[in-house]
Amino acid sequence: FSINLGKDSDCNLVIHFEPRFDHLGDKGKIVLNSRKDGVWGTAQKESFFPFQTGSDTQVRLHWEGRDKCWMGQSNITVHIGRIEGFTINLGKDNGRNLVIHFDARFDSGGDRGKIVLNSMIGGTWGNEQKEGYFPFQTGSSTKVSFTFEQDKITVRLPSGSPFSFPIRFPISQITYVSVDELESKSITLQ
């Protein structure tokens, strides 16, 4: 599997995180890289390899500075600048299949102060679910937590009751992660 964070999946990735069990000559290595304008940087290979086939694990990505992102237990903390909204996508196939699309809309798509949840299967959007509770403010940091259960994803926001979104395809298929409309300066794995 791999985790990619960046503006788009084709040309610009801030980080490409790929644990290699036995792939492309690498056995028991974590490969880290970035891509700018479609060109890969120099790959960094880490020997520390905590992953085991068939077991659960946690991956935690941490941005240095004000902008932070944790994936694994799937807590995401972001610094919000002056934006119309931001999205968090978890899925596979470079975003053609999304188990959850979290869209915080400050003033976008006819929605003001709404959170829109959806999923995409084979490039086709499902039915939207809109939540009225909107704790986000420009110029602040916040935390979004996703807890994956058997048939639903529980979303927790600051100072609010959790709400759930149905899982529409198996979560074992998540290989794509994107956080859009937010800018990070650097990422450190911990």
pLDDT tens profile 5-27: 665 556 677 677 788 887 777 78
Query: pLDDT: is 36 or 12 the higher one?
Result: 36
Q: Contact 55/172 with Cβ under 8 angstroms? A: no
- Which residues, 6 or more positions from 155, have their beta carbon under 8 angstroms from its beta carbon? 102, 117, 144, 145, 146, 162, 163, 164, 165
58-189 and 1-49 share a CATH fold: yes
Domain 58-189, architecture per CATH: Sandwich (2.60)
Domain boundaries, the chain: 1-49, 58-189
- Which residues, 6 or more positions from 169, have their beta carbon under 8 angstroms from its beta carbon? 97, 99, 119, 121
User: Where does 1-49 sit in CATH, by number?
Assistant: 2.60.120.200
Q: Where residue 57 falls among pLDDT bands split at 50, 70, 90? A: low
What is the pTM for the complete model shown?
A: 0.57
